[in-house]
Chain A
Amino acid sequence: MESEYKKRLFYGLVFLGLILLPQFVGNYWSHILGDVGLYVMLGIGLNVVVGLAGLLDLGYVAFFGVGAYSYALLASPHFHIHIPFLVLVPLCILIAMILGALLGLPVLRMRGDYLAIVTLGFGEIIRIFLNNLDPVTNGPKGLLRIDPFRIFGFTIDEPVEWYYTILLGILLSTFFYKRIMDSKIGRAWMAMREDQTAAELMGIDLLRYKLLAFSIGASFGGLGGAIFAARQGSIFPENFSLIVSINVLCILILGGMGSIRGVILGAFVLVGLPELLREFEQFRMLLFGLLLIIVTIFKPTGFFRPEKGLKIVND
């Protein structure tokens, strides 16, 4: 009981720290923390697919992009539609989930590397769609003047306000992730990850659980995308390139697969660190790459071991 109490106290203090943080760091760093937070959200989502269900997805950016474009198309002057965000955000999540299930269907029989290749293609297809579907998405010129979140006459448009919005999103995502991990669904995913054939023999419906993994994973991406679009105010297909998928996956690998703490730390390193290195100008990315190499040499399994009962096997 003692240690449980201490743990709660620790998380309480961390949470309090996170709430007070923007007061000390100002607008610029609040914005950067918001960026980090968005990646944490994406990381948690991809963790469902890769960390829990063991399906290597390299096209995760597709759900992020679809969430962002759904929000932007239905809350901007482009089609003169302005749906309030409390209705629209759940809708974006739903659209991303449906798309996730659609992606799941053709790849049901694929495993490992082959799955990675197909999902990679899927991510690119979505981006190219966004770029070439000019009548709907306005092509490479992007969508401008997207509505920010408005609630009871209050508009969220300052970096600090976005920070709190994103923090709330992360809390919800974490809560949801934890609950689903400990549920029957989560256990089924883990069984599936360890050995598909054995899991199937134990009576786990692979079709159902794979589709669930893809669509629940996608829901986090959809939420992240909607927040991204409203926060940046304008979005372009180039914002949803392959590198986003790779970055999110790197966050997982860096932090330790299947761990929320790992995702948070990974996002800080991968998204926050380049900002800290800004003073090195041209050498920024060089230095960043060097640091990543050092981390992978000394911490090949990531910063954190997977949380209770989870273990990653190499097959």
Chain B
Amino acid sequence: MIRLLLAVFLLIGLFVAGPLMAQDEWGEIVIPPQKPIKIGVGTMLTGDYASMGIDIKNGAEMAILEKGTIHGHPIQLQAEDDGCAGPPSVAIAEKFCNDPLIVGVIGYMCSGGSKPASDIHNKYKVVMISPSSTAEELTKRNIPVFFRTCWNDIIQAKRAADFAIHKGFKRVAVIHDKSDYGQSLAEAFLKGIKEKGGEIVATEGITRGDKDFTPVLTKIKPLKPQLIYFGGMAAEGVLIVRQMKRAGIQADFMSDDGCFTEKDFIQAGGKAAIGSYITYAQEPSPQWVERFEKKYGPRQTFSPQAYDATVVLMSAIEKVAKKKEDGGLVIGKKALRDQVAKTEIDGVTGPIKFDPNGDRTGSVVAIYQVVEEKGKAFFKKLDF
């Protein structure tokens, strides 16, 4: 009886999801005349990392406003709150992919959201370009519609490890926040250090949201590391760097782009943050920063990547969109994906090209050091 019922339900479901036939292998998006081309942005708009998420939205919005129209059609941004987690990201992926005017999506913000959402996008074949999801698995799974303008964890951590060895740090302690992001970075970093002949004296996990890390630090202190690498976000990173100094650890501090924020790391860290090494993208051009900050105020972390992702998407749409006689546009989904894959432009974060998996190629990660000059602390790019 139950099976019969289920079968009936499933049959009803089958009728709803009839396959669409179209010229493009993956189907086509048709923008009727006078209608806008919509670009979805999936990012965190409320909650813990909302400031980072709104920064991403602003970057995308700025690119869209500067571009204005594509073949006479206005471009419209639709930002949705992806909550930096699986369930809400999946929900809005369904929303975007079922919206007939959405051509492509910038997002999602966190890897935990991008992983399940990319499966949905792959089902509907809607291109997504993430400005900030760095997990290695995203590009390892052979999902053709996924691209990112940031780096993956392996690239970033390897670069950090190369730099640490180059600087002569042989004894290294690694701390991470037991998050997808922090742990992946920390593991790749210690692998990089070991390969280059360095020694890992300790690997410790902490919990996000904790405030007191003295137990971990006092455990590390007698091991006398030359460098402490932290995989995680600024909220914990800045506390570690301050408590390190208080515990009397002489080691240098190094961390990832999660700590590349002026407000939460440099200002909150004060004197203790001076001298820390941070890995992050190439600093965007000063003119771009000026334009951005005039409109939105101080920038956070991923707005340049979001800006670049949006530019990549829009120029690909412009190239593959075909005008219909009535003034509407036809965009082939496969054609759009292939065009994004072929991208070769100079973005604000440096030259942009994708490898066959959707990862950005070339050296996109730079090393910065927090320095104080003329009474003002800032991130200074190091030559490496």
Spell out A's residues near B (CB within 8 Å).
Answer: 19, 22-23, 26-28, 31-32, 35, 131-132, 139-142, 144-145, 151-152, 154, 156-161, 163-165, 167-168, 172, 232-236, 238-239, 275, 278, 281-282, 284-285
Q: Are A154 and B46 in contact (CB under 8 A)?
A: no
Is B90 on the interface with A (CB-CB < 8 A)?
A: yes
Residues of B within 8 A of A145 (CB): 141
Q: Could you tell me the distance in whole angstroms from the C-beta of A155 to the nearest C-beta in chain B?
A: 10
Bound CA–CA A238/B366 (angstroms): 30
Q: Could you tell me the distance in whole angstroms from the C-beta of B355 to the nearest C-beta in chain A?
A: 21
Q: Are B87 and A151 in contact (CB under 8 A)?
A: no
CB contact under 8 A between A278 and B81, given known A141-B137, A142-B115, A236-B180: yes
Q: Are A139 and B178 in contact (CB under 8 A)?
A: yes
Chain B interface size, as a band, is: 35 or more
Residues of B within 8 A of A281 (CB): 45, 79, 81
Question: Mostly helix, strand, loop or mixed at chain B's interface?
Answer: helix
B residues 57-99 in Cβ contact with A at 8 Å: 79-81, 85-87, 90-91, 94-95, 97-99
Bound CA–CA A144/B98 (angstroms): 24
Q: What 4 A-B pairs come out closest when comparing CB atoms?
A: A164-B9, A161-B13, A140-B180, A31-B94
Partner of B94, one of A22, A28, A238: A28
Q: Could you tell me the distance in whole angstroms from the C-beta of B9 to the nearest C-beta in chain A?
A: 4
B residues 1-57 in Cβ contact with A at 8 Å: 2-3, 5-7, 9-10, 12-13, 16-17, 45-47, 50, 54
Is B328 on the interface with A (CB-CB < 8 A)?
A: no
Q: Are B17 and A160 in contact (CB under 8 A)?
A: yes
CB contact under 8 A between A141 and B54, given known A132-B178, A156-B10, A161-B10: no
CB contact under 8 A between A160 and B115, given known A32-B91, A239-B85: no
Q: Could you tell me the distance in whole angstroms from the C-beta of A214 to the nearest C-beta in chain B?
A: 26
Q: Tell me the nearest residue of chain A to B17, going by C-beta.
A: A158
Q: Could you tell me the distance in whole angstroms from the C-beta of B177 to the nearest C-beta in chain A?
A: 9
Q: Are A23 and B16 in contact (CB under 8 A)?
A: yes
22 contacts between A and B (CB under 8 A): A22-B13, A28-B94, A35-B87, A131-B178, A140-B178, A140-B179, A142-B112, A145-B141, A158-B13, A161-B13, A161-B17, A164-B10, A168-B6, A232-B86, A233-B116, A234-B115, A236-B85, A236-B112, A239-B86, A282-B45, A282-B54, A285-B47
Partner of A140, one of B17, B99, B116, B183: B183
Residues of A within 8 A of B2 (CB): 168, 172
Residues of B within 8 A of A141 (CB): 135, 137, 180, 183-184
Residues of B within 8 A of A164 (CB): 6, 9-10, 12-13
Residues of B within 8 A of A167 (CB): 9
CB contact under 8 A between A165 and B9, given known A140-B179, A233-B116: yes
Which of B54, B79, B85, B116 has most A Cβ within 10 Å?
A: B116
Residues of A within 8 A of B199 (CB): none
Q: Are A235 and B86 in contact (CB under 8 A)?
A: yes
Q: Are A19 and B116 in contact (CB under 8 A)?
A: no
Q: Mark B159-198, 1 if CB is under 8 A from A, else 0.
A: 0000000000000000000111001100000000000000
Partner of B6, one of A22, A151, A233: A151
Is B351 on the interface with A (CB-CB < 8 A)?
A: no
Bound CA–CA A292/B12 (angstroms): 36
Bound CA–CA A26/B91 (angstroms): 13
Bound CA–CA A151/B6 (angstroms): 10
Q: Are B10 and A154 in contact (CB under 8 A)?
A: yes
Residues of B within 8 A of A140 (CB): 178-180, 183
Is B123 on the interface with A (CB-CB < 8 A)?
A: yes
Q: Could you tell me the distance in whole angstroms from the C-beta of B294 to the nearest C-beta in chain A?
A: 21
Residues of B within 8 A of A154 (CB): 10
Is B205 on the interface with A (CB-CB < 8 A)?
A: yes
Partner of B116, one of A27, A32, A131, A234: A234
Residues of B within 8 A of A158 (CB): 13, 16-17
Q: Tell me the nearest residue of chain A to B140, going by C-beta.
A: A144
